[in-house]
Amino acid sequence: MPKLVKTKVENEGRVTEEYAWVEEPKTTPWDVEEELRVVGKPIARVDGVERVTGAAKYTTDIQLPRMVHGNYVRSPHPHARIVSIDTSEAEKIAGVRGIIHSKNIANFANVANIRFANHRDFFNDPVRFVGDEVAAVFADSMEIARAAAQKIRIEYELLPFVLDAEAAAQPDAPQLTQNGNLVDGKPSTYARGDVEKGFADAAVIVEGVFTTGAQVHSALETHSSVAEWDGKTMTIYESSQDVVGVQNRVAKLLNLDAARVRVIASYIGGAFGAKFGAGKFTLLGALMSNKLRRPVRFVLDRKGEQIAAGQRSATKQYLKLGAKKDGTLTAIQLTNYNNVGAYASWNPYTEGPARELYACENVQTTSYGVFTNTPPFAAFRAPGFVEGIFALEALMDELAAKLKMDPLALRMKNYSSVFPENGRGYTSNGLLDAYQEGARAIGWEEKKNGKRETRNEKRETRNGIRRGIGMASQIWYGAGAPPSFAIVKISTDASATILTATQDLGTGTKTILCQIAAEELGFPIERIDVEIADTQAGPFAGASGGSMTASSIGPAVREAAADARQQLTQIAATILKKRAKEIRIENGIVKTRDSEKSVAEILKEIDNMQILGHGSRNPNPSEYEIRTFGAQFVEVAVDVETGEVRVERVVASHDSGRILNPLTVSSQIEGGVLQSMGFALMEQRVLDANGASLNANLEGYHIPTIADTPKIETHMIDRADPLANNLGVKGVGEPPIIPTAGAIANAIYDAIGVRFYDAPITRDKVLDALERMERGD
């Protein structure tokens, strides 16, 4: 019988407790060296045709009869109390169906029943940033909704505001919340050993102050939902990473049973961490649909998306490292300020790399998550770690230079075979392999060390271009966790369907789940279908994020497929008059020592009997730590006349356990590298003196395009981790974004001899640095 236990789930620096069923597993991990038939093969996406032909329906494609459209009215002020709201002129416009704001929302719902975890209400009063939602207008067309929004008259009482995180952390700063400006009311602190003694023992000490800018998610499909109430069921079409979370929140708002709320997220046009749970726009749309008995479409425009849907926090990091003459780290000390903007429910784990990556006995970190009157924080692909690695790996290179050591050798010197915080072993650790494979692939020894001897201190310029090479390390989570459940249904035509409520964010989840089921069932992959991201179609699965999807729902799908195969084997044994252990199923054929019959032929014998296999995700091993590891090596070309930095080549070597599909993995690697390139070189949100965004679009806010794309080589350490789960897999969604920016910064230093402490490293900063270097400043 299954046993209900409480298990700890750790991800992104946060530890939560979840209940999970523990039952006798139906599968054992595949052998580390086992050659599998379907898993591990570069199979094209099962929904690829729909995606490239336009047949795939995203939330923004949903058009229903009699649809009403929602539009926000946003604050023009960074911090202000709302004195009055006059909607009388707007309500006179033909086609306006309703206006909701802080003064009347209680007429629509029991707002006390809904609280947002990030200090956010449906409509906050006072407003806390330029772009904060003040009212929502619903009308027969978006044009009417926008025209009505212009007619709403709002009187504000302006309040003092603060934009800088370090300034906001001071006692005399304007206060955004009743509990002050710090997330959780205090900084997050950590210490092991004696950091002061560590610095006293150091032969060499390096320190620096690093800043990183806010990075906006910029998903091509903005936050969007369509709500339709038919009098019995509320159907929500949502671009979401968490359909069950949306279902639960909408059900609570409308006082409905969860079974009467259906959430569908068939295709998602980018999320990157910003689309967890039900957004305010979703809940407001559901409220209005419930009132009007008409479908309501609420899609953020591009400006609203860039301003209010979330961002990677800007940071300021005071980092200090100490080491012995042989390179052994003796102390790491970090104080960082995360600018979480107007709203946040947690403080990004920027100190994670300093605490976890290297073997160092003496570590001290203090992390401030600070509210400011700027756009709000939302999780963004490895939140905190991208920023933390940028600083840590730059200073590691600076330390290597002072020690006259190879930067790679310094990192290998401080490699930790156990988790530095508690001494526990890892289920697997491929970091040294990633170092060696990446260095080999890029020719590190020759390019970094051999050529440096010939050019010595004078860096060579050819046609105005100087070239350099750099690298950086990566550590991240990716263990996956319970609870997640799956059903595998085998029909009498010998096809199988996977049912689960997980999501595919565009990462290829549907494809790898089909591969897992095909492998375990012994079916051709063409005979496997998958229905996901629909709360009525499949059982519970966790949210998709934190590099946890494949390693959470994948093991449950394998368990369900094994259960279905066992039932099919028993049926075949009965029909063929054989013992079950004599039966094997290969590529849709039931084989015994002396006969072969297709699965379809076997199932014809049982008429309409259907096979339903059930599977769940068991807890992670408590005696080990599960992490992903990696390293990236980068070559850049710097134009000393224009300041342009071109990334020419990236070698990405990562350990994420068993590779389920090399094609989907390489897509993840390439996407992560490009997003980190944007963070390193070009993505710069510009605010004016009042905190208003001046480039809330995709023209002024530059993200990498195909013209910026370098040669990206994926070198995975394809080694299963059987202690982690029954697939031996770890997450791969976030690892590739973590080291790229740090590696780029180190390569720029190698090219021009200037260390940059501020990201993004834009052309003007490069030119200014070169000019100062020429002057001898």
- Edge-to-edge strand ranges of the sheet holding 261-264: 96-101, 133-139, 68-74, 296-299, 224-229, 234-238, 261-264
| Structure-derived torsion over alpha carbons of residues 105, 107, 108, 112, reported in degrees to the nearest 10 | 60
Question: 235, 228 in Cβ contact below 8 A?
Answer: yes
The answer on pLDDT for 289 being more than 80 is yes
pLDDT in tens, 291-341: 999 999 999 999 999 999 999 999 999 999 999 999 999 999 999 999 999
The answer on pLDDT for 14 being more than 80 is no
pLDDT in tens, 380-402: 999 999 999 999 999 999 999 99
User: What would the 3-class secondary structure string for 84-101 be?
Assistant: EEECHHHHCCCCEEEEEE
Say if residue 160 is exposed, middle or buried (CB neighbours under 10 Å; 0-12, 13-18, 19+). exposed
| DSSP secondary structure string for all residues of 509-555 | HHHHHHHHHHHHHT--GGGEEEE-SBTTTS-----S-TT-HHHHHHH
Q: CATH for 314-479+623-775, among 3.20.20.70, 3.40.50.720, 3.30.365.10, 3.30.460.10?
A: 3.30.365.10
- Predicted confidence band at 25 (pLDDT cuts at 50, 70, 90)? confident
pLDDT on residue 21: 72
pLDDT in tens, 722-747: 999 999 999 999 999 999 999 999 99
pLDDT in tens, 495-519: 999 999 999 999 999 999 999 999 9
Question: 340, 377 in Cβ contact below 8 A?
Answer: yes
Does 62-159+223-299 carry CATH code 3.90.1170.50? yes
Same CATH topology for 62-159+223-299 and 314-479+623-775: the answer is: no
Question: 20, 619 in Cβ contact below 8 A?
Answer: yes
* Distance in angstroms (rounded) separating the CA atoms of residues 562 and 622: 25
> Averaged over 675-695, what is the pLDDT?
97
* Distance in angstroms (rounded) separating the CA atoms of residues 628 and 634: 20
| Structure-derived torsion over alpha carbons of residues 17, 726, 546, 353, reported in degrees to the nearest 10 | 90
Joined together, the tokens standing for residue 570 give 């028993």
Determine the straight-line distance between the first and last CA of the chain, rounded to whole angstroms. Answer: 73
CATH class given for the domain over 3-57+481-616: alpha beta
pLDDT on residue 355: 98
- For residue 377, list its beta bridge partners: none
Question: 324, 237 in Cβ contact below 8 A?
Answer: no
* Distance in angstroms (rounded) separating the CA atoms of residues 623 and 177: 40
pLDDT on residue 115: 66
* Distance in angstroms (rounded) separating the CA atoms of residues 218 and 18: 32
Question: 159, 126 in Cβ contact below 8 A?
Answer: yes
> Averaged over 229-257, what is the pLDDT?
95
pLDDT in tens, 652-667: 999 999 999 999 999 9
> Averaged over 171-183, what is the pLDDT?
95
**Whole-number percent of the chain with pLDDT over 90:** 89
pLDDT on residue 455: 46
The residue from 387, 625, 734, 774 that is catalytic is 734
The answer on pLDDT for 493 being more than 80 is yes
pLDDT in tens, 406-418: 999 999 999 999 9
Query: How many beta carbons lie within 10 A of that of residue 134, not counting itself?
Result: 24
Query: How many beta carbons lie within 10 A of that of residue 164, not counting itself?
Result: 16
Helix (H, G, I), strand (E, B), or coil: what is residue 65?
A: coil
The answer on pLDDT for 10 being more than 80 is no
The structure tokens 């040669």 sit at 711
Classify the C-alpha dihedral 123-124-127-128 as positive or negative: negative
* Distance in angstroms (rounded) separating the CA atoms of residues 188 and 312: 18
Considering only 23-27, 115-119, 146-150, 198-202, which range has the smallest mean pLDDT? Answer: 115-119
* Distance in angstroms (rounded) separating the CA atoms of residues 57 and 260: 23
- The number of residues in the chain equals 777
pLDDT on residue 113: 63
pLDDT on residue 510: 97
> Averaged over 683-707, what is the pLDDT?
97
pLDDT in tens, 367-377: 999 999 999 99
Q: Which among 279, 292, 300 has a CA at the least distance from the CA of 236?
A: 279
- For residue 466, list its beta bridge partners: 638
Catalytic-residue membership of 734: yes
* Distance in angstroms (rounded) separating the CA atoms of residues 739 and 353: 11
* Distance in angstroms (rounded) separating the CA atoms of residues 64 and 235: 12
* Distance in angstroms (rounded) separating the CA atoms of residues 156 and 133: 14
pLDDT in tens, 466-476: 999 999 999 99
* Distance in angstroms (rounded) separating the CA atoms of residues 63 and 295: 9
User: Helical H runs in 255-301?
Assistant: 280-292
The answer on pLDDT for 683 being more than 90 is yes
pLDDT on residue 118: 62
For helices 243-254 and 280-292, give the axis angle rounded to 10 degrees.
50
Can the peptide bond before residue 739 be classed as cis, meaning omega within 30 degrees of 0?
Answer: no
For the chain, give the mean pLDDT. Answer: 94
Question: 58, 286 in Cβ contact below 8 A?
Answer: no
Using alpha carbons, list the distances in angstroms from residue 336 to 13, 147, 655. Answer: 15, 44, 28
**Whole-number percent of the chain with pLDDT over 70:** 97
> Averaged over 701-720, what is the pLDDT?
97
pLDDT in tens, 428-478: 999 999 999 999 999 999 988 765 554 445 577 888 999 999 999 999 999
pLDDT on residue 646: 98
User: Helical H runs in 404-540?
Assistant: 407-413, 431-442, 444, 451-455, 509-521
pLDDT on residue 454: 47
The answer on pLDDT for 672 being more than 80 is yes
| DSSP secondary structure string for all residues of 130-187 | TT-EEEEEEESSHHHHHHHHHH-EEEEEE------HHHHTSTTSPPSSTT-SBGGGS-
604 residue type, one letter:
K
Joined together, the tokens standing for residue 373 give 């009157």
The structure tokens 């013209």 sit at 707
pLDDT in tens, 577-605: 999 999 999 999 999 999 999 999 999 98
Q: What are the boundaries of each domain within the chain?
A: 3-57+481-616, 62-159+223-299, 314-479+623-775
* Distance in angstroms (rounded) separating the CA atoms of residues 552 and 381: 17
* Distance in angstroms (rounded) separating the CA atoms of residues 468 and 749: 7
